[in-house]
Structure 1
Amino acid sequence: MKLHETGVLGYSRVAVPPDRQGRLYKKSERSSTYQRRWCELRGNLLFYWERQGDREPLGLILLEGCTVELQESATEPFTFEISYRSGHRAYKMAAEDQASMEGWVRALSTASFDYLRALVTELEGQYRANGVAPPKEWAVQHRPVVSAVGLPDFEGLHQQFGKEIVKLRAKWKEARAEGTQPTQGDLIDLG
């Protein structure tokens, strides 16, 4: 599966306010310095720009399958890390103050599909523990109509595309290592 760059960039420009926005400092891969970035969280995507108001984002971080952990350090205050179970690249970030750091960590930790699925499962369990069936409207939203006509629901699509992305990323890394893939212009950094 190829991600359509225009579509992803378009999502960074929608008129709907982001879930969270503000300044963060992102540690560079190439050096040990933090770069000041304007960040916007939209769903499970964290877009970042060099400056607020720039048209094109420098990149984005896909938050699916990640954990967000505070990093205690006397020399680097208000820091946290976005890391992945798969062992791919970790992103070291810092906020300007304690309150901002706590808000970002909370927002990023709850941005993934895995978190939402766990939340829905917990709510469904609470309904059933109290001897109450979930509302019919909720059941319709929780189990989409598309699965009734033979199409996969959102979770099925997510798993299907996730497997495809992992395969394509492996091919891309091989081509990049062989020098047949351009190393400039990467919008999405998956690690």
Structure 2
Amino acid sequence: MITRRTFLAGSVTLLTAPLAGEAQQAGKVYRIAWLAPAANPDNLDAFRNGLRALGYVEGTNIVMDTRYAERSAAQLFDVALELVRRDLDVIVTDGSSAASAIKRTGSAIPVVFVSGDPVGMGLVPRLSRPGGTMTGFGIVSTELSVKRLQLVREAFPGRSRLGVCYEKRQLGHMIPRWRRQHARSVFNSSVSR
């Protein structure tokens, strides 16, 4: 689970980069959309506080459009379509599914995301140079998972079995690919369910 501080630091930093890239115009009001699969007041509050700390104040120099989809994938895509039809400066997504919904629209609006595995989910081709209109950071990646397994193997060299607990809703797309590609090479054995 991502901490509020990590979310805040990453999101605000990534969000303000596109805004800072434009010449500061007196009286410019930036239009920011926040899209999430469900309401998460802690993340949204942390994001707003981070913006305020950088001098971006709702009603003064930013306008926020906050949207949720009540955990419905179909509704999330419909809300994403509504947002990309608006005149926005940037869309911030809270979670991988919201970022994926925006990406599927083909919009040219810049998107800042926090995702479990943005490369694995197809949001960006690589984190170092994401390209396109999407940028953000990943909190879980296959590469880091492999490194963690290697450290476990070094710490417990005599062990041949390892259990992995994960929330299927969050990481279910990663585990099968990860098992096939990496676990065997780290433990020199097969991986079973």
Q: TM-score, normalised by structure 1?
A: 0.30
Going by fraction, where is helix more abundant, 1 or 2?
2
Q: TM-score, normalised by structure 2?
A: 0.30
